[in-house]
Structure 1
């Protein structure tokens, strides 16, 4: 019997005495009210990205049997919860299905499926071709369904020109609301506008949201931060060179820079950081330090810093500060980027009449290997789940000392598991495994 026939045969489920009858849609597509939107999270990098497939059921029945599909521009895709979803990747094409009845989409409800993408330093990945049960959904690429900056710039010392892209999704937009430093200052029908009568040499933060035909508003764009030019004749000189630049290695994959603030006849609005003669990143005008990541172990680098003022004038560079990164982890335990103090205990939770078993994992965050926001759990020698911090809604703060998460292993008492964990290091590579533990779920 086909999956569709099985689902139709079970379209009425009765649970317990006096329970209600719940019809379940089998293999419902857009015609049954099920739609999909796919996106790559805003925090994506060339080393690691998280994505999301958002399913929305506008119908009056839960949907149990669904298949979501999308294409990824590059990289290997993993599923955040392999106990609820089955993920298959064929080249760039990815398919996600629920396992059993663990991932229904409730009537008039939504479900978010989290995935991880490892682009291995080949650029920020993109998602396209999003659909569910064969019906096209909405691709939101590398952003969310909000307006996005599209080349805004400073016109002169009293005006800026804001430009933005409309939000994805195809809904009819009737106008845009423009906010300056948190206060609405303008309404626009087009995707651009001028903001005038600003103060010279002043930093402003703008954001935009769209208003749909039904009166609902989207979320806000990211802040569009611009600093007006200095008034004519006001800014006559370029900034003084930042003083006393120091560079120190922070493990194999990053370096820490410190300097004394530069001065200017009007104001210093930012700093530019150069590595081996090439500009690699910028810092705010109030900054006196920066961290440079993505470096190679046991490698010598030369850094210098310049200051920039409100009129765009750049100071002469500091003297070059040399630094050599630490050696790479040797793969033999301590110092390899392996999570320390790894511990695992078992616990249970009730899911209706079913007792689900969990592993509660705790560990110490590896130090000196850059920021660690992603971990991978192995059960019985195979990858089982990926944990990611710094993403989501709300955003989970990245742990710096101790970390803990739980892993669902199913409704199987008396089962023995071997478990270990590893971290994705600052250069995007996986570090060494923690010690491996053996645990058994309760009876």
Structure 2
């Protein structure tokens, strides 16, 4: 698989007062039709929150789907605005961003922006350095006309020396005739079915598998997302539970989430993951290399207690860490978390549907900030719910708006009709925010 460079720019766009411009080394592509890299950080920042952007630019004539972007932050916890399309991993100050399956290709001669948030937790203005990216054009020999790839279908560990891989076939394009299975970057099998066993593995060892399809016309699809599995410990091999993770810290990351940090645990064989508890209940897990996590879906101005445990290859769980407490901040508008869309505007438009003129309302607004990711909005017409908009779903996946949102609402074929319209957002904690200002509009004659 050929590897190419992708032009990359990381721009931190932040809120608050004070400004900083940090120059970062930039390298242009050596070939006119190749892929180069460039990074910059600019604009204003506060010691409490910053929004960032990873900008990818593909100068080549083939799409890039199997890319990996990396950068370092001076301090703070980094989160994704769109976890449906990307996978973010942070180890210490180093951050890695990858696409999930085929949801975030960089088109030929095209661009892609990945929005992130940076929570410096009052420890200074964050800086981004060391931006770089690598990627495979077209996911192998695929020309890019088919962007479907296999997807994990429930793979699992069988025992200490074997795993069972299962995947869903890609859709569209020519018929699939076989699948190529890769283990830690090396092809180990070719199969016709959508499942297979991988055997003769080492006990208590982490493996990364991925699959691509070969079609009847000879082209290959892009690779699936990595299927990461850790074999069980051999009988009698893992005798002790892991040592407790050390130095757990919990910090509020705004009204609706908290950032956790801890020191890696150890085990007589291998630590395979971590479990995170909130107020005594397990709420999520992290992989073996993680030393931080973000817990979302919290309530503004609320105190929470967190603990973390380590799990080893035989399933033994360590004792929990000491309890760490964090209190989420107040909602930005001081109204119990009910932030409203701002700069709300509504205009009318028409479209022809055969011989019928249909009337629409074109809505635009500013996305509420500091209240978690917002993917859902509800439109009210004349005081009653009329339509719900959702981002981050569908085919293709709709990118989640982070600063400005806009949609159109079909209201019918009757001209000269007056409507009062307002919208509200479902906030990061799952509650509905306050309504925007209400506007009155009249369809044209």
TM-score (norm 1): 0.53
Q: CA deviation at 1:421?
A: 0.5
Structure 1 or 2, whichever has the larger Rg, is: 1
Tell me if the contact between 1:27 and 1:64 (Cα under 8 Å) persists in the aligned partners.
no
Cα distance 1:20–1:165, how it changes in 2: closer, same or farther (>3 A)?
Answer: same
Q: 1:25 to 1:174 in 2, by over 3 A?
A: farther
Contact 1:23–1:62 under 8 Å retained in 2: no
Q: Is the 8 A contact 1:70 1:129 kept in 2?
A: yes
Residue range with higher mean Cα deviation, 385-394 or 180-189 = 180-189
In structure 2, the CA distance between the partners of 1:35 and 1:326, relative to structure 1 (3 Å rule), is closer
- Deviations along 1:370-422, one digit per CA (max 9) or x if unpaired, are 32211111112222211111111122232232222222233444432211111
Shift of 1:95: 45
Q: Once the 2 structures are TM-superposed, how far is the Cα of residue 235 of structure 1 from its aligned partner?
A: 6.6
Contact 1:35 1:135 in 2 (8 A): no
Mean Cα displacement is larger for which, 344-353 or 17-26? 17-26
Distance 1:269 1:433, change over 3 A: same
Relative to structure 1, is the Cα distance of residues 409 and 10 closer, same or farther in structure 2, using a 3 angstrom cutoff? farther
Which one is further off, 257-266 or 358-367? 257-266
Matched residue, 1:383:
385
Single out whichever of 401-410 and 9-18 deviates more from structure 2. Answer: 9-18
The C-alpha deviation readout for 1:255-286, integer Å capped at 9, x for no partner, is: 33233444556654322101223322101233
Moved more, 18-27 or 177-186: 18-27
The separation in 1 between residues aligned to 2:347 and 2:258, in whole angstroms, is 37
Q: What is residue 28 of structure 1 aligned with on the other side? A: 28
Say which is worse superposed, 143-152 or 419-428, in terms of deviation.
143-152
Q: Verify the 8 A CA contact 1:39 1:53 in the aligned structure 2.
A: no
Deviations 1:4-58 (A, max 9, x none): 9999999999999999999999999999999999999999999999999999999
Structure 1 residues 392 and 103, CA gap change in structure 2 (3 angstroms): closer
Alignment partners' CA distance in 1, 2:348 and 2:113: 27
- Per the alignment, residue 128 of structure 1 pairs with 129
Asked if structure 1 preserves the Cα contact closer than 8 Å seen for 2:38 and 2:131, the reply is yes
2:380/2:421 contact within 8 Å kept: yes
Q: Alpha-carbon deviations, 1:130-154, whole Å to 9, x = none?
A: 9999999999999999999787532
- The answer to whether the Cα contact below 8 Å between 1:39 and 1:140 also exists between their aligned partners in 2 is no
Residue 280 (structure 2) aligns with: 277
Label 1:302 to 1:134 Cα distance change in 2 as closer, same or farther (>3 A): closer
| Alpha carbons 1:178, 1:185 under 8 Å: kept | yes
Name which of structure 1's ranges 279-288 and 344-353 shifts more when overlaid on structure 2. 344-353
The 3 A distance-change label for structure 1 pair 354 and 94 is farther
1:57 touches 1:63 (CA, 8 Å); kept in 2? yes
* Distance in 2 of aligned mates of 1:296 and 1:16: 23
Q: Distance in 1 between matches of 2:326 and 2:124?
A: 26
Structure 1, unmatched stretches of 5+, are none
SS in 2 for 1:323: strand
Which stretch has the larger CA shift, 430-439 or 8-17?
A: 8-17
Distance in 2 (CA, whole Å) between partners of 1:10 and 1:313 is 41
Distance change (3 Å), C-alpha of 1:183 and 1:57: closer
CA pair 400-138 structure 1, distance change in 2 beyond 3 A = same
Gaps (5+ residues) in structure 2? none
Task: Note closer, same or farther for the CA distance 1:420–1:257 as it changes in structure 2 (3 Å cut).
Answer: same
1:340 is displaced (CA, Å) by 1.9
Give the Å deviation of 1:348.
3.6
Question: Kindly tell me: are residues 385 and 194 of structure 1, through their superposed partners in 2, closer, same or farther at Cα, counting changes over 3 Å?
Answer: same
Alignment RMSD (CA, Å): 19.2
Change (3 A) 1:198 1:70: closer
1:294 is displaced (CA, Å) by 3.6
Deviation at 1:197, TM superposition (A): 3.0
Offset at 1:343?
1.9
Q: CA deviation at 1:431?
A: 1.9
Q: Out of 206-215 and 14-23, give the one that drifted further.
A: 14-23
Aligned ranges for residues 253-402 of structure 1 at < 5 Å?
Answer: 253-263=256-266, 268-296=271-299, 298-326=301-329, 336-402=338-404
User: Which stretch of structure 1 is more off in the superposition, 91-100 or 336-345?
Assistant: 91-100
Contact 1:27 1:63 in 2 (8 A): no
Structure-1 separation of matches of 2:65 and 2:92: 27
Q: Distance in 1 between matches of 2:60 and 2:277?
A: 55
How many Å separate the matches in 1 of 2:83 and 2:397? Answer: 22
Greater shift in the superposed pair: 337-346 or 261-270: 261-270
